[in-house]
Amino acid sequence: MNKKWKKAVGITAIVNLSAVAVLYLGGVLFFQNHFFPNTLISGENYGWKSVSQTEEDIRKKTEDYELAIHGRDGIVDHIRGTEIEMVPVFDGRLDEIQEEQNGFSWVSALWKPRSYDVPRLVNYDRVLLHKKLSQLAVFQAENRRLPEDAYIGEYDEKTNSYSIVPEKLGSDIQREAAEQAIEESLSTLQEKIDLETADCFTKPTVTSDTAWINRVANTLNRYVSSKIIYDWNGQEEIIDGSQIHNWLSVENKNVVIDKEKVRGYVNELAKRNDTFGKKREFVTTEGETVILSSGSYGWWSNRSEETEELIKLIRKGETVEREPVYHNRGYVKGLDDIGDSYVEIDLGKQHLYLYIKGKLILESDFVSGNVSRGFATPAGVFGLTYKERNATLRGANYATPVDYWMPFNGNIGMHDAGWRKSFGGNIYKTNGSHGCINLPKDIAAQIYEKVEQGFPVVCYN
C-alpha cells in the first residue's frame, strides 16, 4: 500500500512538471510574435497582442480621431481624421519592440510592466486639410476682431484721477501660425489645441502692463493731485486737478503741460485781482469823490514768472499755499488797496492830510510843482518808494540838502523845505518846486516817522 502511494505521488509530480513545462514553452512560442503582458506603448496597454493586432487597433483609433480647435469668443472647430483621409504610418518600431523581447523571460513580465514611447505617425491629404482649414470658423472674417491697445482714459472729476483702460485682445488670428500649430497637433494626434495657449492671435501693441503707459498715468495723476492755494491780493484762488487736467496732454509718450494755457489762466487771475494801472474812486477829506489814475501804485502780478512757478508746483504734485510773484505790491490787500492809512495831497487846495488806521493824525499846507514852468505835480495814487534822512536833492542846476526825503513818484517826493517862509495858497503856480511836495520841517519830520516803504500817497486836483 505504501509503495503504491509513493508511486502515484511520483507520477502526479511528473505530470504537473510536464504541464508547467508545456505551459512555459507554450508561452515562449506565443511571445515570439506577441507583446509581453503589461507592455505599454505610448501609454496604451498592448500586452498579449501581436504587432498586427496592435497596428489594427491604432488604425481604428486613427479612423475615430478628432481634433478640437479652441479659439476665442467661445469658438470651437473640429477636424476629423476621416475628413482629411488620415491614416497611420508604421515605421517598424513595433516590430523592433517585439523582436527585442526575450521569449524565455515572459514569466517575469507578468509583474514587471514595460513602457515604450512610440510617437504615432500619420499621413493625411494636405489638399483636403487646407480646404478644411479654410472652412474653420476661427478663420472667417466675421469672427476676427482686431485687438485694441490699452490707453489712458479721460480725467475723472469724481476721483480726481486718470486710469488705464485695459487693452482688448480681439480675435484676429495669425493664420500661418495657427495652421502650423494645428498641423503639429494633427501629426501627434492631440485631441485638443488651444490657439490662445499656442500664441496664435494678434497681440495689442500696448497693454495695461506696458511700462511707458503706466509711467504716463502715474505722472498725470501726480500732476492733478497738486493743489495750489493762492493768496492773490487777499483773494483765495485754488488751482487743483479740476483745472489742471485742462492743461495736460500726452505727446510722444510723455506728459506735456501747455504753458500757454497756464499763462492764460494766470492772466485771468491777475486781471481779476491786480489793482496796478486801474482807476480808483477816492473820497476826499472834504467828502468829494474823485477818480484817480493808478500812478505806480497797487498790486501787479509778474505773470510770466508766476506761470513758471505754477508749472514747477504742478510737476511736484504737492499741496502748497503761496502768494504769486509780484512786480509791485500795494500797501494793503484787496481791490481797495489804499486802505485807511495814507497821505492825502490836495493839489488844488495845496493842503495835505495824514491818516493812520482811519484817524487823521495831522494836516498841513504845502507847496507843489511850479505850474508856470511845467513842473506841476502829477495826480494819481502812488506808494512810497523809500525814505531817507539827510539826503541831497540834485537837478540840472541845483543840489539841495534836506533832512527828510520821502520819494513816491520817481524823483518826486515829500521833503522839508526850510528855505520857504510860507506854504499853501497860490505859491505853487509861479514859485513852486520841480514837482516835489515842499513841507514845513516839523510836518515832514512827523510824516517821516509814520510812513514806510509802500505807504499810499494820494494826489488829486
Task: Judge whether residue 422 has pLDDT over 80.
Answer: yes
Task: Judge whether residue 5 has pLDDT over 70.
Answer: no
The predicted structure's pLDDT at residue 4: 56
As a whole number, mean pLDDT of residues 174-180 equals: 96
What pLDDT digit, counting tens, does each position of 288-326 carry? 999 998 778 999 999 999 999 999 999 999 999 999 999
SS3 260: helix
CB under 8 Å to 426, separation ≥6 — which residues?
A: 350
Looking only at the bridges linking them, the beta strands covering 151-152 and 164-165 are antiparallel
Residue count (the chain): 461
Residues 342-460, CATH architecture:
Beta Barrel (2.40)
| pLDDT band per the 50, 70, 90 thresholds, residue 44 | confident
Give the integer Cα–Cα distance in Å for 177 and 201.
Answer: 9
Task: Judge whether residue 185 has pLDDT over 80.
Answer: yes
Give the integer Cα–Cα distance in Å for 224 and 219.
Answer: 9
pTM above 0.85, yes or no: no
Task: Judge whether residue 403 has pLDDT over 80.
Answer: yes
Task: Judge whether residue 187 has pLDDT over 80.
Answer: yes
What pLDDT digit, counting tens, does each position of 362-376 carry? 999 999 999 999 999
The predicted structure's pLDDT at residue 50: 84
* Mean pLDDT for the chain overall: 91
Residues 212-275+296-328, CATH architecture:
Roll (3.10)
| pLDDT band per the 50, 70, 90 thresholds, residue 73 | very high
The 8-class DSSP code of residue 433 comes to: B
What pLDDT digit, counting tens, does each position of 208-256 carry? 999 999 999 999 999 999 999 999 999 999 999 999 999 999 999 999 9
**Cα–Cα nearest to 29, from 81, 99, 80, 104:** 104
Cα angle: 381, vertex 387, 388; to 5 degrees: 150
Give the integer Cα–Cα distance in Å for 226 and 203.
Answer: 36
| pLDDT band per the 50, 70, 90 thresholds, residue 43 | confident
SS3 12: helix
Q: What is the 3-state secondary structure (H, E, C) of 61-93?
A: HHHCCEEEEECCCCCEEEEEHHHHCCEEECCCH
As a whole number, mean pLDDT of residues 44-57 equals: 83
As a whole number, mean pLDDT of residues 16-21 equals: 70
The mean-pLDDT minimum among 112-126, 140-154, 180-194 falls in 112-126
Across 29-33, 61-65, 162-166, the highest mean pLDDT is recorded for 162-166
Q: Where in the chain is the domain with CATH 2.40.440.10?
A: 342-460
| pLDDT band per the 50, 70, 90 thresholds, residue 2 | low
The predicted structure's pLDDT at residue 69: 97
